[in-house]
Structure 1
Amino acid sequence: MILEPGYENDKVGKFDDISGIAPLQTVLFDIDGTLCHSESLHYLALKELLPTIGFNNGIPFTKEFYVKNFSGKHNSEIEVSLFSKDHDDAFKLKFGDDLFEIFKRLAVEQLEPVKGLNKMCEWIKKRGYKRAAVTNCPRKNAEFILKTLGLTDFFDVLVIGNECENPKPFPDPYLKALQLLGESAAHAFVFEDSVCGIKSGVAAGMPVIGLTTSNKDQKSLLEAKPAFLIKDYEDPKLWTALEQLDNLA
């Protein structure tokens, strides 16, 4: 893999804050659990559909099981947990379509942005920073969520994990976003909510601000080496860091 400009191996995992990227030029976001509280809806959709295919002998699984085994992961990884060798491609395709329809039904009434997201987006737009949405979820899911949130036009680029050489936790999706934007990791940071996503952003040479919206196990998030963790986009810790960036710029 050819690494994008700004990727520095000696910096990976050593970001204690985001001040070192000044001047800031680019902000990258994951989607599920980072822009909106969609992980709970994915969980409910799976919980509704999985008993119909005999998963776990029809016994419902817990939210903790979902976070550990599914949250932030690419579909190919999830399929290993869900399907046996008896399930052919047609079965998997129908399962995916059915799951998406259940998710859409739930999202129409229940999808909510993470608190303070609009404030964060306005801050970015006012300063003219480039932005990308980078996700492991399928393109149709990502486009549906962005449309529902009214953010389709906010993002300059949408990068899908399975359209890259390797999905998250590899750095490829974030490196591809930087390449498409014509920007450097040296002046960018990432918002993520999963262990898988944080590892991806850090491996791409950028500081990652982790959100605790989906995974309440802060220990596992911290082990992925984010710059710091926030509750949501109204967290004072975030705005203190952003004010510092403004002052440095």
Structure 2
Amino acid sequence: MPALLFDLDGTMLNSDDIHEQVYRELWADRGLVMEDGFYMENVHGRLNVDVFAKYLPDEGDPQGLSEWKEAQFRDRLPTPYPAMPGVLDLLHAAQNDGWRVAVVTNAMRLNAEAMLSAIGARGAIETMVIGEECARGKPHPEPYLQAMKALDMPAAQCIAFEDSTTGVQAAAASGAYTIGVRSGLSDQDLRAHGAQDSIQDFTDIALPDLLARLKGVVA
């Protein structure tokens, strides 16, 4: 049976507004102005330390700043928090059908645990791969390749769900069948970076037929 590989933020839940607000405050504290659209274009889906290296090169401790930023996020994340529509039903169906499930995220582990717990999905996740714990995070395919190794599943039997350009690039480069989630980007943008299909969310009427077709292809 296929394996389902999920990105987390923007895919299983959408908390970008919380992240963006913390980033805006971080920029303002340094006398910088964050223009509208900057977060989605330059931060979304990327590791904090990579963002800081590019835009805050004078920071003495980018890892410490990243940990502070993510602690701010956890403090502001309500519990419970709404899951992406339909994702919990898909996880339940995957468990019933014996599909393997992993989360592959650039979020730090404490955040990933907090988000999964907030949407009530932690118990459905078999394996979790954290980008900053890999030698290279997304957009490199290594996090996805590690998930496949942990599940002992070949790329040809893996379906990845991603919402960011870096995530789509990583998933597609790993060889997984990559489905974009249009929580922040258009179908055109997602396909331009490697997605083979896209859905609005997990209630999209195209998803059941898509999964049934893919099940036949990868089984």
Q: With the length of structure 1 as denominator, give the TM-score of the two structures.
A: 0.81
Give the superposition deviation at 1:110: 8.2
1:69-104: CA deviation from partner (whole Å, max 9, x where unpaired): 00111223211234232x212xx3553343223312
After the TM superposition, which parts of structure 1 deviate over 4 Å for at least 4 consecutive aligned residues? 245-249
How far, CA to CA, are the matches of 2:215 and 2:177 in structure 1? 17
Give the residue type in structure 2 aligned to 1:38: S
Counterpart residue number, 1:29: 6
Aligned residues of 2:148 and 2:154 also touching (Cα < 8 A): yes
Give the superposition deviation at 1:218: 3.4
Give the residue type in structure 1 aligned to 2:73: F
How many pairs align?
218
Match for residue 61 of structure 1 among 35, 41, 44? 35
- Tell me, yes or no, if structure 1 residue 40 matches structure 2 residue 40: no
| CA separation of 1:94 and 1:225: change in aligned 2, threshold 3 A | closer
1:127-168: CA deviation from partner (whole Å, max 9, x where unpaired): 011111001121111111112122222111110112112111
Aligned residues of 2:5 and 2:159 also touching (Cα < 8 A): yes
- Tell me, yes or no, if structure 1 residue 124 matches structure 2 residue 94: yes
1:25-73: CA deviation from partner (whole Å, max 9, x where unpaired): 211000010010112221122123321122x2xx2431x2111100111
SS of equivalent to 1:66: helix
Match for residue 56 of structure 2 among 83, 86, 96? 83
- Percent identity, aligned pairs only, is 28
How far, CA to CA, are the matches of 2:16 and 2:105 in structure 1? 13
Match for residue 179 of structure 1 among 149, 152, 156? 149
SS of equivalent to 2:170: helix
How far, CA to CA, are the matches of 1:201 and 1:152 in structure 2? 22
Instruction: Quote the RMSD (CA, aligned, Å).
Output: 1.9
Structure 1 unaligned segments of length 5 or more: list them.
Answer: 1-23
Structure 2 unaligned segments of length 5 or more: list them.
Answer: none
How far, CA to CA, are the matches of 2:43 and 2:187 in structure 1? 17
SS of equivalent to 1:225: coil
Match for residue 236 of structure 1 among 205, 208, 212? 205
1:91-122: CA deviation from partner (whole Å, max 9, x where unpaired): x3553343223312331168421111111111
Counterpart residue number, 2:195: 226
How far, CA to CA, are the matches of 2:4 and 2:146 in structure 1? 14
| CA separation of 1:160 and 1:47: change in aligned 2, threshold 3 A | same
SS of equivalent to 1:236: coil
How far, CA to CA, are the matches of 1:194 and 1:110 in structure 2? 24
SS of equivalent to 1:134: strand
Largest Rg, 1 or 2: 1
